[in-house]
Amino acid sequence: MFWSHDPVAPRQTPEWVEQMRQQLRPNAFLRMIENRFVPFESSFVDPAWWATCEGVGARSLVARADLPIFVGVDASRRAIARLDTT
Which residues touch 39 (CB under 8 Å, ≥6 apart)? 27
Q: Is residue 44 part of a domain?
A: no
Residue 20 class from Cβ within 10 Å (0-12 exposed, 13-18 middle, 19+ buried)? buried
Which residues touch 55 (CB under 8 Å, ≥6 apart)? none
Q: Is residue 60 part of a domain?
A: no
Is the per-residue pLDDT at 53 higher than 90?
no
Distance of alpha carbon 81 from alpha carbon 48, whole angstroms:
26
Q: Is residue 64 part of a domain?
A: no
Q: Is residue 30 part of a domain?
A: yes
Give how many domains the chain has, as a whole number: 1
Q: Is residue 77 part of a domain?
A: no
Computed over every residue of the chain, the mean pLDDT equals: 77
Q: Is residue 67 part of a domain?
A: no
Is the per-residue pLDDT at 82 higher than 60?
no
**Average pLDDT value for residue range 27-40:** 85
Q: Residue 25: give the domain boundaries.
A: 11-38
Q: Is residue 21 part of a domain?
A: yes
Q: Is residue 82 part of a domain?
A: no
Which residues touch 44 (CB under 8 Å, ≥6 apart)? 75
